[in-house]
Chain A
Amino acid sequence: MTEIIIGIISGIVSGTGMGGGTILIFLLSFLMGIEQHVAQATNLIFFIPTAIVAIIVNFKNKNIDIQLAIIISIFGILGAIIGANISIRIDVGILKKCFGIFLAIIAINEIYSIFKLYTKQYKNNKKIDNK
């Protein structure tokens, strides 16, 4: 049951652009005590059906730049082979730490961009006031 609830939460959050997978891995390993590697593998399986639906919808709406997508995909596959092999071979503790650092970087970046957005809005409002 817990699994389904975690799935629902990640489903709601995914599509905001920050990826439901991150939340899924975090919740699986934090709430259920599942090992990091297994949580990551679960996320992969979780992602495939969602992605296929999203691709079909985007394709119909002509939201995909196919030429760019193919170039990125080819190098992405190369990168994924390297990344997956590193991930499988390293120790769980190290992987968990790396994941934590990665999340922290994203969080800082996100907060910075929100901060920038608000200062921009503030400046614009000021300009309007001055006029």
Chain B
Amino acid sequence: MIKKMIIGLLAGVVSGMFSTGGGMILVPAFIHLLNLDATKSRGTSVFCILPMVVTSSFFYYQGNFIDWKVAILCAIGGTIGGYCRCKIIKKIARKVYENSFCSIFNLCFL
């Protein structure tokens, strides 16, 4: 119980502060600390992140940080991208895809 509380709180702080990364904490935490399987932990993490995102967007909205034009354009692009992703995943093995993207972007960040 305490473990779950700490995981939730930590993910919430990170998610509120950077507005991203809640999933990056939740998914590994579910898999390694709570022994959930990968698919289930991914599904549960999305469910958990939504309330965090809604809460923090309320504060960002109050602070007048939302640029609606950019947000809506990005959301349109995101929907198209999500659709493309489903098509791509069917063609190539999921594992290869995950590893390649993770490594490319991590190298960029480093």
A residues whose Cβ falls under 8 Å from a Cβ of B: 3-26, 28, 32, 34, 37-38, 40-55, 58-59, 61, 63-66, 68-69, 71-88, 95, 98-99, 102-104, 106-107, 110-111, 114
Contact = CB atoms under 8 A, between A and B. Distances in A.
- Secondary structure call for the A interface: helix
Interface in B44-81: 44, 46-61, 63, 65-81
B75 A49 contact: yes
A93 B75 CA distance: 27
Interface in B66-110: 66-85, 88, 97-99, 101-103, 105-107, 109-110
B51 A73 contact: yes
B20 to A, nearest CB: 4
Interface residues of B, number: 81
B79 A81 contact: no
Contacts of B40: 63-65
Nearest to B88: A12
B67 A38 contact: yes
16 contacts: A7-B78, A32-B70, A40-B18, A42-B66, A63-B40, A64-B40, A69-B48, A71-B4, A72-B4, A73-B8, A80-B52, A82-B16, A84-B58, A98-B18, A107-B107, A110-B102
Nearest to B105: A23
Contacts of A66: 47
B50 A107 contact: no
Contact of B47 (A38, A49, A69): A69
Contacts of A75: 4-5, 7-9, 12
